[in-house]
A and B are shown apart, each in its own frame.
Chain A
Amino acid sequence: MTSIYQINSATRIRFARRFLISLSRMRRASTLGPPSDEEIRTRTRRIRIVSYSSMAFAVGSSRAWSRALVLKIRNRARFRGILRNKCLASKKKRVIKRHKVSREMSKTDMLRRLVPGGAGMGICGLLEETAHYMTCLATQVKVMQSIADHYSK
């Protein structure tokens, strides 16, 4: 059964390519000199989004989670202002959530929250998507790590 979830090398190459291209695009656009904290934060976030989006695009529309991720990123690009407020609101949410954490979160709910597009699936599909998503995340991490290693030498 694991053979289904093995990522092709083609996918990995596609991901690496897209990621590098978008990274170089970002580097070109960055300001010179020591970046401020705020800038670093935004750049971190952007890089993270870029990595997820390139992974989703590399996988294509064959998987439900990649489709959902692509949609989310596209919507995110449109409503950036709302995202900015999300950081401030999350502090409040965290306190409230702690009181209710034992009751409301079942394991499948948490899993749905983690896997993109997991809200609209049954358990069966959710598990399958989770497996594929996990393998894609692992390759993502490996590729990014090797890139980081390469550039830090």
Chain B
Amino acid sequence: MHPCSREMQGINYVLNPSSQIPLQDLQNQQHQQIQNSPFDPSSSSNDDFLDQMLSSLPSSSWADLKSPWDLNPPTSLNIPINNSSAKPREDETPPSMPENVGFHNFDESVILAAKLRQHQISGGPSPAVAAAAKAMLQQQLMMATRGGGLPQNDVVDGSSFKSPTRGDGSVQALYNNGFGAGSMHGTGQASNQSQQHFHHPQAQNFSTPGAGAGMAMNQPQASGSTGGAPAQPRQRVRARRGQATDPHSIAERLRRERIAERMKALQELVPNGNKTDKASMLDEIIDYVKFLQLQVKVLSMSRLGGAAAVAPLVADMSSEGRGGAGGGGDCIQATANGGSLPRTNSNSTQTPSSNDTLTVTEHQVARLMEEDMGSAMQYLQGKGLCLMPISLATAISTTTSHSRNPVLNSNHHSLLHSNGEGPSSPSMSVLTVQSATMGNGRGDASVKDAASVSKP
């Protein structure tokens, strides 16, 4: 699978060839799930809001709906709090009046909005916010009624007159309150104004305040309670990252976190583990595991204590298709210095080499590498050279002097001079270029591990 342009998505594809849940699909799923749930106030658009409210609210709760909109507000408005009980509360609430029946026509949306709000307030996760919202609601209702200036016993017209205004005013008060404005004054004004043009904007006002009430309802909740279920797409972003209603996304997130943890642990284990993105980190991990396995193999060879035998072994290894010349070269290095006496003699005879012979050697090796890796390795071996990846060469050169091998240094043929960075750079670059040009046809590790010839 090829990584996509977005790194993480690409990594997801890489890591989850079977799960096939890229990030976009996940978001789509979230959207779909939220749109499908009926009584979920987190509709994506305000247009659907009223429809959802109207369709989802159970009819059994109509009795509850009447109570907050009663004409005679008691001094203590604890009405909206208890919506769970089906009966109207006698102690606190005003007696349900026959005018309430008339509310249905135009109060419907407002009542539904109130009901929704109550649901949310009572079902809100954080009791502090719910209590605050309830307190706000009480104040608004009181202000609205005062602004409305109602007599208690009303004619139907009067009641029907007042209730929408009150509803409008209270809803608008909620709306205003949602923006955190101390808008008690605005409440009164709004209710006064709406008294005047009561007939015309009747229908319109109730659609918008309904939506406004919905928004107002949701805003104090979402902004107030960070842990609340997000109401709308805009607020879903603002909700805390750890909260999601989706079990799928939660599981995904957990999984991703676990993977990130493991990658971090691996990063500490692998040398050169400072890569930030997962793909290169995985590459490093793979290379390091291959390198360790090769070291084991080489050490098992050196146990036999005869490096005269190394050459055929090298040929054998390269013919086994091990990861490129670099790997084989690495083995040769350890073996040749791992305590093989006959080898050192041949090594010592070759000590100084001019640049000419080096370049000649390189050309030879390049030509041989085209045909057969094994023969190239044997040729190098015959000259007392070896092939190794540049990265390893530099790493080993820096660590050779202080790490393990006294044997390595004593034979002295530690392949890389410990004072230098590694093999002479021109030879490195030349061979690199050559192997790169040659390696294009192969497209294999011979390109990936740039080879460098190093002299003992």
Contacts and interface: CB of A to CB of B under 8 A. Distances in A.
Interface of A: 1-2, 4-5, 23, 34-35, 37, 40-41, 43-45, 47-48, 50-52, 87, 90-91, 93-94, 97-98, 101-102, 106-108, 110-111, 114-115, 123-124, 127-128, 130-131, 133-135, 137-138, 140-141, 144-149, 151-153
Interface in B192-248: none
A128 B263 CA distance: 9
A70 B255 CA distance: 29
A153 B289 contact: no
B56 interface: no
Nearest to A126: B262
A114 B289 contact: yes
A68 B264 CA distance: 25
Contacts of A133: 289
B293 A137 contact: yes
Contacts of A2: 265, 268-269
Contacts of B261: 1
B288 interface: yes
Contacts of A87: 320
Interface string B276-313: 00010011011011101101110111111110010011
A106 B285 contact: no
Interface stretch (B14-22, B42-50, B64-72, B391-399): B14-22
Contacts of A151: 303, 305, 339
A115 B289 contact: yes
Given A123-B259, A128-B262, A151-B339, A40 B443 contact: no
A82 to B, nearest CB: 16
28 contacts: A2-B265, A5-B269, A35-B306, A37-B309, A37-B312, A40-B304, A41-B313, A48-B296, A90-B321, A111-B285, A111-B289, A123-B15, A124-B255, A124-B262, A127-B266, A128-B262, A131-B265, A131-B266, A134-B288, A134-B292, A137-B295, A140-B292, A140-B296, A144-B296, A145-B299, A148-B302, A149-B407, A151-B305
B1 interface: yes
Contacts of B319: 90-91
A152 B285 contact: no
* Chain A interface helix/strand/loop/mixed: helix
A145 B261 CA distance: 32
B374 to A, nearest CB: 10
A19 to B, nearest CB: 10
* Chain B interface helix/strand/loop/mixed: helix
B384 interface: no
A80 B248 CA distance: 47
Contact of B303 (A5, A111, A114, A148): A148
A44 B301 contact: yes
Contacts of A90: 319-321
Nearest to A6: B269
Contacts of A152: 305, 338-339, 407
A99 B309 CA distance: 33
Given A90-B320, A107-B282, 18 more contacts: A2-B268, A37-B309, A40-B309, A40-B313, A44-B300, A44-B304, A108-B17, A115-B289, A124-B258, A124-B262, A134-B292, A137-B289, A137-B293, A137-B295, A144-B300, A149-B407, A151-B339, A152-B407
Given A123-B15, A141-B292, A107 B321 contact: no
A21 B295 CA distance: 21
B283 A107 contact: yes
A114 to B, nearest CB: 5
Most buried by A among B266, B270, B283: B266
Contacts of A51: 296, 299-300
Contacts of A23: 303
A147 B407 CA distance: 12
Contacts of B7: none
Given A44-B313, A137-B293, A152-B305, A5 B265 contact: yes
Contact of A111 (B286, B299, B313): B286
B359 interface: no
B146 to A, nearest CB: 62
A107 B279 contact: yes
Contact of A1 (B264, B286, B292): B264
A74 B407 CA distance: 36
A52 B296 contact: yes
Contacts of B296: 48, 51-52, 137, 140-141, 144
A151 to B, nearest CB: 7
A90 B288 CA distance: 23
B266 A153 contact: no
Given A94-B321, A107-B286, A148-B339, A114 B293 contact: yes
Contacts of B289: 111, 114-115, 130, 133-134, 137
Nearest to B308: A34
A90 B320 CA distance: 6
Contact of B443 (A34, A101, A108, A127): A101
A101 B266 CA distance: 26
Given A2-B265, A130-B285, A144 B290 contact: no
Contacts of B123: none
A135 B290 CA distance: 13
